[in-house]
Amino acid sequence: MNGGLLVAGTTSDAGKSVVTAGICRWLVRQGVKVAPFKAQNMSLNSFVTREGAEIGRAQAMQAQACRIEPTALMNPVLLKPGGEQSSQVVLLGKPVGEMSARGYHGGRQQRLLGTVLDCLAELRGQYDAVICEGAGSPAEINLRRTDIVNMGIARGARLPVLVVGDIDRGGVFASFFGTLALLSPADQELVAGFLVNKFRGDVSLLEPGLDMLKGLTGRPSYGVLPFRHGLGIDEEDGLHVSLRGAVRESAVAPPLGADVLRVAVCAIPLMSNFTDVDALAAEPGVVVRFVDRPEELADADLVVVPGTRGTVRALRWLRERGLADALARRAAEHRPVLGVCGGFQILGEHIEDDVESRAGAVPGLGLLPVRVRFAREKTLTRPTGRALGEPVEGYEIHHGVAEVTGGEAFLDGCRVGQTWGTHWHGSLESDGFRRAFLREVAAAAGRRFVPAPDTSFAALREEQLDRLGDLIEQHADTDALWRLIESGAPQGLPFIPPGAPA
């Protein structure tokens, strides 16, 4: 078997990432050696592979669904937004510079098509099947000429295409039909059919519409996936995600102690790797919220200042919002504050940035004895160590180089009282370390909270991935899906006018 499939979507956030992961987990349970692939990803949630390459966290999650180690081949192009108009371009796991959207789509993107096709071909040579994820919509007619992630990669590698639509948003039939009808005849030849995602209710009421869609397009539906809570793991946030007031989904089990523990995450601009707090939310009795007002820190037992692609911009935002003063009051009162990566840098005394913001010398919040200088070379590592008497591992993605001049050692950073800082993403996924940290937080906050002794974040992640595989196995036409992956799009699929504009 040397199969492949491109999972496209009618919109961003239609469910491409989780459907791709679900198909990967279903295939690996059938004994298929499978790998994920996304030619180009726009996300501030990224991960570091064992060889020191930076890729999207969604592809790392999909690799876990395949039960393999992630590599740079699985996400050859990563765009990390730095504002409305520009992004850092990460090619084969390493940053190659900043580029405006116009500059990227004006020529650079198209020149990368050969690179991404080579990466896909290399993966297909190593695995029985490669399940590819598209981006946005394949019907973005203004970008089709330079596309390397949707129909561009499908055409280049002759991949069949499955279009996913989120019915919970409404208008799914129009979205399916309109997506197909805005593709050129050559692109339409590869679109094999549709998959409905996030359906609530009686499927029999939907079936007449699916039959009519097949009559209109000549293409079947490959399944209807029911709505399930808690499956949006390791999201690709793009640029416009708003987590204001959002609550990360927590385990349904009640707390072991008498109290819950409340965690407030500052929703700073260009927030990166906010998935760090998922391990906290997995603990029974821990409630995690994203906030942007100082009064929302008042009842928090722990405040997290997360990573960001714009440290100086986020620092300015915290000051403008009054959150900087609220953080300073917390530190003075010995109430827990944790800064991760960019958040760690913000808590320091001084920032020298001629790379990211080019703002030069900027005073930090002064809550930790740390001075930060931004280097042009990005640090991309997978460190391991011990902290709070427990083994811990994580990953680092940052330009800022921290000089720690005092305090008590904490991972690569330091702590002063109940203010903690580190560059390590993912450290809270280490179960023993997380429990030890939460015990300290609870004691400092005066909460009768007890961490569960048996919560395994890795096991919970595996359960989530198995649930995705179950969705595909139970609600998709797996026989038809298998034929599609193995043999490609059916021949003779009809053209639906008007097609792409000239």
Instruction: Give me the active site residues, please.
Output: 341, 425
- In the block, tokens 């995690």 appear at 288
**Lookup: tokens for 99:** 């580029």
**Lookup: tokens for 418:** 């109940």
| Contacts by 473-477, CB closer than 8 A, 24 or more apart | 473/26, 473/29, 475/223, 475/224, 475/225, 475/226, 476/195, 476/222, 476/223, 476/225, 477/220, 477/222, 477/223
CA angle 250/62/275 to nearest 5° reads 35
Continuous segment of H or E residues that includes residue 478: helix 478-487
Separation between Cα atoms, residue 473 and residue 25, nearest integer Å: 10
Residue 27 φ/ψ region, left for φ over 0, alpha for ψ in the -120 to 50 degree band, beta for the rest? alpha
- In the block, tokens 């714009």 appear at 310
Separation between Cα atoms, residue 261 and residue 302, nearest integer Å: 8
Separation between Cα atoms, residue 390 and residue 417, nearest integer Å: 19
- Of 191, 163, 213, 158, residue with least CA distance to 493: 191
Query: Which ranges constitute the DSSP H helices of 195-307?
Result: 207-217, 278-281
Cβ neighbours, 10 Å, residue 69: 12
